[in-house]
Structures are given as C-alpha cells and as structure tokens.
Amino acid sequence: MVSERLIVGRRSPKIESLSERAYQSIRDNILRGRYPLGAALSRRQLAEELRMSFLPVSEAVQRLEIDGLLESKPRVGTRVRIPTRQDILERYALREALETQAARLCAEHADEDGRQGLLKMGFHLDQLYGSGGDEEFLFSVHTYHLRFHLRIAELGANSLLRGAIEREQVLVFNWLFDTAARQRSLPPRFHSELAAAVTGSVEDADRTMRTHIRHGMDRVMEAMDMSTAENGWRSPRKTRGSAAKTEKRP
C-alpha cells in the first residue's frame, strides 16, 4: 500500500497552494458570518466562486471538516457545522486550560519590553472593539484579537503550549462563537485589564484569564441553541455568499 505521506508528497506545489487558498477563503467567510452556522455549501459552486478546479476546493473542505468547521453527510451535502452544547463546553474548557497556563507562564517569564508591548496591544484592542465598524473592520479586529492572545503565549516562552493553542484552534472557535452570537461589545478596558494581569503576579494572571475566557459564554450557548433548533440539515437558510445555498424541505 502506498503511504499517504508519499501520495501527499507527489502533489504539485500549485495544487497545494490552491488548496491552501481555498481553505483560507472558506474559513474566513465562515468567520465573517458570510457562511453562517447551518448554511449548506456546494463544492462546485465554491470552486466557481473561487475560480479554481474542484480538487483543491474538495481538499480544503476536507480540512475544514477535520477542523470541525464543516460537516458532510452522504446524499445530503456539506454545511457549516453547528456546534452542540457539549462541543461548546469542551471548547471553552480546552481554551481555559491552555490559555490559563499560558497566562501564568507569561507572568513568570515576560521581559520588560514584552510586558510594555502587551499593555499597548491590550489598550489598542479595547479601542478597536469600542469603535464599531463594518464586516471587514470587525474581521480585522478579530484578527488582531487572535494575535494578542497568541502573543501572551509567546511571552510565556513555551513553544509547545503556543503551538497547542494554535493547533487546537481554540481562538478560531472563540471567533466563530462571537460571530454567531453577534457578541460585538465588551466591558471597558476588557483587554487592558487582562494585559495588566498577565504581566503581574501569577495568581492574578490565572484568575483574570479564567474570568476573561468565561465572559459571554451564556450568550453564546443561547445563540447556539437557537441555531440548532432552527437549522436541521434541510432547513432553509438565507446567506449572502453565492456558494451557500438554500435547501427545500422534503
């Protein structure tokens, strides 16, 4: 039997780059809310929209299924996956476990330049969240938010922990949950206070990060419950993306 590694190794760089571009584009549209939870997606329409062949789009969809952002059923199709309550609780618990440890390590190991830089990032992030803005602006805010949290992990000087946070995509799912719940307003100085805590004592870093992560979880759970109730596999779903289609009830 030919190993999967050898098969992957034979793919052309062009296909790999197209697959990566398709992956990023579809994922970004999910995080923007253009493909909302429960939206049915056609791989062929995605290929037309992205102006590429079916193969790289299909590979991108498979990656997104592994990530937990999409799901497919035989003879039914592919859609943006709606997380269950258990999914959400487990994602929150995993994020809390990883990022609380990152916060503790940041408090222990960050140097003065790192601390000052993180305080500036927290202040800037609070200003961005308080500015409102359109879809593209909110996307840039969430992107900066992800960088802020990864920076905390980097200052903790544990590359394995930082890699786990990125690999498990806890920040990506936090982004997805906030988008689905339309959670756009945060308490004043929400990230400034977190930055101050993770550059202070280990105890403050631990406590503040836990509180930070749990903020808004009830609203997210309520929004996800509504999505689950309203969107079965064949429930109508209106979207702005041309690749997201509406299916008729049988």
Asked whether the beta carbons of 209 and 100 are under 8 A apart, the reply is: yes
pLDDT value of position 7: 31
Share of the chain above pLDDT 70, in %: 84
pLDDT value of position 234: 46
pLDDT value of position 250: 38
Nearest to 36 by CA among 3, 5, 79: 79
User: Who's near 242: CB < 8 A, 6+ residues apart?
Assistant: 45, 49
Whether 247 has a pLDDT exceeding 80, the answer reads no
Q: Per-residue confidence at 216, pLDDT binned at 50, 70, 90? A: confident
Q: Per-residue confidence at 132, pLDDT binned at 50, 70, 90? A: confident
More confident site: 223 or 50: 50
Segment 103-123 shows an average pLDDT of 98
User: At residue 22, what is the residue type?
Assistant: A
pLDDT value of position 11: 45
Nearest to 150 by CA among 114, 185, 113: 114
What is the C-alpha separation between 117 and 115, in angstroms, rounded?
5
The C-alpha torsion from 98 through 102 and 103 to 109, rounded to 10°, is 170
pLDDT value of position 12: 47
Instruction: Please report where in the chains the tokens 């805590």 appear, as a residue.
Output: 197
Model pLDDT for residues 15-27, shown as the tens digit of each residue: 468 999 999 999 9
pLDDT value of position 155: 98
Whether 32 has a pLDDT exceeding 70, the answer reads yes
pLDDT value of position 225: 75
What is the C-alpha separation between 41 and 38, in angstroms, rounded?
9
Domains and CATH numbers, the chain: 13-82+233-245 (1.10.10.10), 85-223 (1.20.120.530)
pLDDT value of position 164: 97
